[in-house]
Amino acid sequence: MPFSDYKTALVTGASSGIGAAVVERFRREGLEVHALARGAAALADLAERTGCVAHAIDVTDTAALARLAGEVEFDILVNNAGVDRPKSFLNADDGDIDLLIDVNLRAVLHLCRLIVPGMVARDRGHVVNISSIAGAYNFGGNSTYHATKAAVSMLSRQLRVDAFSRRVRVTEICPGRVATDIFAHVHGDSPEIRERFLDGFELPEANDIAEAIAFAVAAPVAVNIGHMEITPTLQVPGGLSTARAPEWGAKPTPST
């Protein structure tokens, strides 16, 4: 469906990074874009710059989401808000688990519950779920994050089953490392963190992800682009490790 067939969009996690880039890209297409995030000041700046409609709402506030969904019929929903608390699951905290489930999964489920039925009734709509390569590949220290992103991946597929026979399209975007401020949010903004995750790496920018989303949305109505995995050219997910069987009480010795 070309952008001209859509009028309104809701983008979560819109105050910075990929979310802000998507808001800017959609506004260039003339959509009425509702930008949702916790940071009121950053949203105000985005609204002044782009003309979007700002909503300073926490995605875990289901009642507030329900009020917004009851006021506006959204043609496009971009579930972008997400958090991480990297640590081994052996050291997981209950608060970290609850936070990741609430933001990364529960909010996505509720927004789809609130908005997708209207898309089905109107025979028009597009859901874009920003997942992660963490939904398909394992790497250390992100167990709950992996679990929530894998759930979003399955939800994305299931939404197409539930909306079958209607022109409601669903696209899952699975980024690898992207040059955004998420690393500062998760690990703290410091020269050491920028050096560890950003400096010297050739990485996609937030605008690159926004362009990929625009490509999926602008595809002809008969085309559903269901899944995009977007990684740096110089990043390869995956790997295999095997540990020797330890003596009882001894730590295993890993080998690759």
Of the chain, the end-to-end C-alpha distance in Å amounts to 47
CA dist 10 and 80 (Å) reads: 10
Q: Is the Cα dihedral 84, 85, 91, 95 positive or negative?
A: negative
Our answer to whether residue 137 is catalytic in this structure is no
Active-site option among 145, 156, 163, 216: 145
CA dist 103 and 9 (Å) reads: 20
Residue 253 CB burial class (10 angstroms; 0-12, 13-18, ≥19): exposed
Q: Return phi, psi of residue 172, to 5°.
A: -100, 125
CA dist 120 and 167 (Å) reads: 7
Per DSSP bridges, beta strands 254-255 and 242-243 are: antiparallel
Whether the Cβ atoms of residue 243 and residue 237 lie closer than 8 Å to each other? no
Q: What is the CA 197 to chain-centroid distance, rounded?
A: 19
Residue 168 carries which side chain, given as an amino acid letter? V
Q: How many C-beta atoms lie closer than 10 Å to residue 93's C-beta?
A: 11
What residues are labeled active site? Answer: 145
